[in-house]
Structure 1
Amino acid sequence: MSHYFFTSNKYLVAILLFTLVTICSTAITIGEFKAINSIAWVDIIGEGGMMLMIFTWIVFTLISRPAGRVTTWLFTGLLLTEISMLLDFLDEFIHYAAHNSWFTTVESFPAAIGMVLMTFALYQLHFEQQTINTQLKRTERYYREHSLTDFVTQLYSAQYMKQQLKYELNHVKAHHSTFSLIMLDVRKFNDFNQRFGYAQGDFLLGEIAKLLLMNIRDGDLACRYASDRFIVLLPNTTANVARVISGHIEQAVAHLAYKSGDSSTAIYPKISSCVNQYQGQQSYQEILAQLNHKMSVVKYESTAARSDVTCTNVPVTN
């Protein structure tokens, strides 16, 4: 992932290297090196340490963040601060003639501007993180248990879903309420893996998982149930409402223009979906077996008919 972000920020990397090389070469060209006995080594350690620290911050920013407005603001602010630190550091080694003294007088200005830009960037980062936290809450319905998280999709695993089904069954029995489940299955996923490879298949599942999270509500729980199969638990929800949400998910996935590698050809994945409503009369094993059977029936009927009919058109039974 760090290699991907570093590549996506390649223009910022080029700007960083160009700026540092230009400043160093200019200083060497217009200045003269000081005598060794006149160099303050304590200042060099302090100023050099600050310069290297800010450079490290820049590198971490470029390898840990995707390209975008916030990343650009952070980079610009840090780079301007780095320029001031570098000029201050070079002063310890290089002496400038009077007519080139301007090179040292400007060293404080980039840092001042950089601090302002970084403050603005951190303000934007605050709102970006709030959006991310809202999405994360949808995958953590009751508590965080990262050992039960699926690595590929970052959704919770089938084991976590089983735990939550047990909880939900006890809840609906005690409160005489209801809940619904949506099962989603990516069509012809094995064919996709054989054509593009398992790495691209994992990436596709991750993109579908993101769309799934965007189209469910706060309080709903989405999990990866199997290789290409997902389950969404919708508390206090009837089958009719679940069908609407399922339809939104199908539409979102159908409009996903997935491109493999450097290809400009878009692949539009499709999913089959299945909806059931429950009131606590069955065990979680029976519920999952029933849902899987319904999905198998719908996939068979869809293949036999060579159509795009999804499981949401199959009559729902309790």
Structure 2
Amino acid sequence: MNTPFIKPHFHLLVILFITLTTVTTATFTLGELKPSNELDYFDALGEGGMTLMTLVWIGFTLLSRPTGKVTNWLFSGLLLMNISMLLDFIDEFIIYPDNSAWLTAIESLPAPVGMIIMSIALYHWHREQMTINAQLRRTERVYRDHNLTDFITGLYSAKYMKQQIKHQLLYSKKSNKPFTVMMLDIRQFDQFNRQYGHQQGDNLLREIGQVITMNIRDQDLACRYASDRFVVLFPNTTSALADAFSWHIENSLANLAFKVGSDQRANYQKITICSKEFDGNQSDYQVLELMSQQMDNTKIKNNKHQDKRVA
């Protein structure tokens, strides 16, 4: 049972207990029990069930709502309705003397007053719920947007990149205009993480993402594709033109003097870049698979060249 909201409503529970106890005590004090042959058990069952249900409504209201004006109005309206139903229920068992006949006359009065209060409360509850729903929609939209961005670099996520490549493939196929995809890989990034820690690794990724963003056009799209890999989509761009952007990115990153903490020594990162032009006759999966294969081949070639220089 959800009890956190019950404790703040303790004063309302006290009011409920005192009110129902007072009404029950007063009616049984002023009246006399009917003979058993005059009791209408069918009516008593119906009115007793209605009385019990309003008590259940009060209970669920206090269980599910925080303290406040709307809760107090809901409670007051339900309590007045419960009083009328309780009096109707007790009336099945009690005969009032002539000088207490006014009780029968007013037993239905609390119900309409309670319904008016309930209507006001429900109106304000509706407005309250509309505000909550608006906040939930904003939260969902923020979450959805964040789900399409990389938390560390601020670039778009691989999921968003795949969606945009799908759109670009359809557009390129219809317009016969090519597009180019560039993939960038940070060399020995795992070693950097082991040496300086993951927090510094995240800082490095963030700065690399900023350098990439500064060296591409507004219509181009950059994302963090994997741990140490980035992908850039160049719409309506041939590989020759994309190579020029790749050169600028590679040159800028080669001169990125990353400093770890208070250490004044600069760390210069080596990267591997490859790019490929597409005409729209592939799937998004094929595009990224071909790029990954090309990146692996490029890294193997770079390692062979490095081994030859060392030899």
What TM-score, normalized by structure 1, do the two folds share?
Answer: 0.51
In structure 2, the partner of 1:202 is 202
- The 5 Å alignment of 1:209-248 reads 209-248=209-248
In structure 1, the partner of 2:298 is 298
Q: Report deviation, 1:205.
A: 0.3
1:257 counterpart = 2:257: yes
Q: Provide the C-alpha distance between the structure 2 equivalents of 1:239 and 1:216, rounded to a whole number of angstroms.
A: 14
Tell me the SS of whatever aligns to 1:173.
helix
Q: Provide the C-alpha distance between the structure 2 equivalents of 1:223 and 1:157, rounded to a whole number of angstroms.
A: 5
Alignment CA distance shift 1:238-1:156 (3 Å):
same
Larger Rg: 2
Q: Provide the C-alpha distance between the structure 2 equivalents of 1:242 and 1:219, rounded to a whole number of angstroms.
A: 13
Tell me the SS of whatever aligns to 2:292.
helix
Alignment CA distance shift 1:172-1:268 (3 Å):
same
Contact 1:150 1:224 in 2 (8 A): yes
In structure 2, the partner of 1:165 is 165
1:155 counterpart = 2:155: yes
- For each residue in 1:288-317, what CA deviation from the matched residue of structure 2 results, as whole angstroms up to 9, or x when unmatched? 1111001001111212221799xxxxxxxx
Q: Provide the C-alpha distance between the structure 2 equivalents of 1:300 and 1:202, rounded to a whole number of angstroms.
A: 26
Q: Report deviation, 1:261.
A: 1.1
Contact 2:181 2:234 in 1 (8 A): yes
Contact 1:302 1:308 in 2 (8 A): no
- The 5 Å alignment of 1:267-282 reads 267-282=267-282
Q: Provide the C-alpha distance between the structure 1 equivalents of 2:160 and 2:190, rounded to a whole number of angstroms.
A: 25
Tell me the SS of whatever aligns to 2:256.
coil
Q: Provide the C-alpha distance between the structure 2 equivalents of 1:187 and 1:240, rounded to a whole number of angstroms.
A: 24
Q: Provide the C-alpha distance between the structure 2 equivalents of 1:285 and 1:277, rounded to a whole number of angstroms.
A: 15
Contact 1:259 1:265 in 2 (8 A): yes
Q: Provide the C-alpha distance between the structure 2 equivalents of 1:176 and 1:165, rounded to a whole number of angstroms.
A: 15
Aligned CA-pair RMSD = 1.7
Q: Report deviation, 1:262.
A: 1.1
What TM-score, normalized by structure 2, do the two folds share?
Answer: 0.52
Q: Provide the C-alpha distance between the structure 2 equivalents of 1:145 and 1:262, rounded to a whole number of angstroms.
A: 35
**Which amino acid is the alignment partner of residue 197 of structure 2?**
G
Q: Report deviation, 1:221.
A: 0.2
Q: Provide the C-alpha distance between the structure 2 equivalents of 1:249 and 1:308, rounded to a whole number of angstroms.
A: 26
**Which amino acid is the alignment partner of residue 259 of structure 1?**
K
Tell me the SS of whatever aligns to 1:282.
coil
- For each residue in 1:116-139, what CA deviation from the matched residue of structure 2 results, as whole angstroms up to 9, or x when unmatched? xxxxxxxxxxxxxxxxxxxxxxxx
Q: Provide the C-alpha distance between the structure 1 equivalents of 2:259 and 2:297, rounded to a whole number of angstroms.
A: 31
Q: Provide the C-alpha distance between the structure 1 equivalents of 2:207 and 2:191, rounded to a whole number of angstroms.
A: 18
Q: Provide the C-alpha distance between the structure 2 equivalents of 1:200 and 1:233, rounded to a whole number of angstroms.
A: 27
Number of equivalences: 166
Alignment CA distance shift 1:219-1:308 (3 Å):
farther
Alignment CA distance shift 1:308-1:184 (3 Å):
farther
Q: Which runs of 5+ in 1 are unaligned?
A: 1-143, 310-318
Tell me the SS of whatever aligns to 1:226.
coil
**Which amino acid is the alignment partner of residue 228 of structure 1?**
D
In structure 2, the partner of 1:75 is none
- The 5 Å alignment of 1:36-51 reads none
Tell me the SS of whatever aligns to 2:258.
coil
In structure 2, the partner of 1:184 is 184
Q: Provide the C-alpha distance between the structure 1 equivalents of 2:185 and 2:149, rounded to a whole number of angstroms.
A: 19
Q: Provide the C-alpha distance between the structure 1 equivalents of 2:274 and 2:145, rounded to a whole number of angstroms.
A: 27
Identity %, equivalent residues: 47
Alignment CA distance shift 1:233-1:202 (3 Å):
same
Q: Provide the C-alpha distance between the structure 2 equivalents of 1:265 and 1:304, rounded to a whole number of angstroms.
A: 29
Q: Provide the C-alpha distance between the structure 1 equivalents of 2:248 and 2:157, rounded to a whole number of angstroms.
A: 23
Deviant stretches of 4+, over 3 Å: none
Alignment CA distance shift 1:197-1:308 (3 Å):
farther
Q: Provide the C-alpha distance between the structure 1 equivalents of 2:150 and 2:157, rounded to a whole number of angstroms.
A: 5
Q: Provide the C-alpha distance between the structure 1 equivalents of 2:147 and 2:198, rounded to a whole number of angstroms.
A: 23
**Which amino acid is the alignment partner of residue 214 of structure 1?**
M
Alignment CA distance shift 1:288-1:165 (3 Å):
same
Contact 2:147 2:157 in 1 (8 A): no
